[in-house]
C-alpha cells in the first residue's frame, strides 16, 4: 500500500488541533498540549527507490547520537524512525516552530550547538532544552507536498550530507537551496 505523503499534513493537522484545543495560559506556555507521531522522509531523487526516513543510529537513547537516513521499516522495532512533533514557538506572523522528538529515546532533533553556527553542523538527538537549535520551522516549497525544515538557530535547512540517498547518510544543516536532499515530508 502506498502511503500518501503530505508535508502540509503537519501544518494543517496542527492548525486544526490548535483550533480545537484550549490554548495554554501564559503560565503553562512550556507545556503545549498536542503531540503527533510521524515518519519524516526525504524527497526521492529518482523513481523506483525505497522511501528513506530520519533514523536515530542504532536506536540509541544517548545524547549526541547522530541522525541519519535509513530505509523505512514497517515491522519490528521502528521507534527510532518515529518522531513526535510538538509546537513550541509562534512567530509574529502566526507560523509555528516545532520540537521534533524521537519516540524511542524522547530526545530532540538537535543541530549541534557546540561547534558554532555554520554549514555542515551535524544533526543529532539531544535532551530537549527548548533552545533555538532544537526548533524547526517548516517552509513549504511551491505547491508541492514537500518542504524545508529550517533550524531556529540561524535558519539553515535540514540537509542530507553529500547529497547521498543511502542507508546511513548523515544529516546536517546547510544553506537552504530547496534541492531534493533538503525537501522533507512529515506523515
- CA–chain centroid gap for 9, Å, is 13
d(CA 19, CA 77): 34
Residue 34's pLDDT band, with cuts at 50, 70 and 90, is low
Tell me the whole-structure pTM to 2 decimals: 0.81
Determine the pLDDT at residue 145.
85
The answer to whether residue 5 scores a pLDDT higher than 70 is: no
* Domain boundaries defined on the chain: 8-21+40-186
CATH number of 8-21+40-186: 2.80.10.50
Determine the pLDDT at residue 187.
83
Concatenated DSSP letters of 8-41: HHHHHHHHHHHHHSPPPPGGGTTS-S--EEE-EE
d(CA 60, CA 50): 24
Share of the chain above pLDDT 70, in %: 81
Helix/strand/coil for 99: strand
Concatenated DSSP letters of 102-123: ETTT--EEEE--TT-S-TT-BE
Across 15-19, 84-88, 115-119, least confident range: 15-19
d(CA 105, CA 127): 9
Amino acid at each position: 500500500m502506498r502511503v500518501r505523503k503530505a508535508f502540509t499534513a503537519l501544518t494543517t493537522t496542527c492548525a486544526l488541533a490548535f483550533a480545537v484545543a484550549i490554548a495554554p495560559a501564559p503560565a503553562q506556555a512550556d507545556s503545549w498540549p498536542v503531540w503527533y507521531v510521524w515518519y519524516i522522509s526525504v524527497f526521492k531523487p529518482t523513481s523506483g527507490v525505497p522511501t528513506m526516513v530520519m533514523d536515530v543510529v542504532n536506536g540509541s537513547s544517548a545524547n549526541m547520537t547522530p541522525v541519519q537516513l535509513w530505509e523505512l521499516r514497517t515491522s519490528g522495532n521502528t521507534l527510532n524512525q518515529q518522531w513526535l512533533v510538538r509546537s513550541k514557538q509562534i512567530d509574529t506572523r502566526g507560523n509555528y516552530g516545532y520540537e521534533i522528538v524521537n519516540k524511542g529515546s524522547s530526545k530532540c532533533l538537535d543541530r549541534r550547538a557546540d561547534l558554532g553556527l555554520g554549514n555542515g553542523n551535524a544533526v543529532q538527538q539531544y535532551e530537549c532544552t527548548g533552545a533555538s537549535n532544537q526548533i524547526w520551522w517548516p517552509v513549504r516549497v511551491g505547491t508541492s507536498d514537500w518542504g524545508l525544515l529550517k533550524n531556529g538557530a540561524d535558519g539553515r535547512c535540514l540537509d542530507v550530507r553529500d547529497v547521498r540517498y543511502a542507508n546511513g547518510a548523515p544529516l546536517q544543516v546547510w544553506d537552504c537551496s530547496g534541492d531534493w536532499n533538503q525537501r522533507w515530508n512529515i506523515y
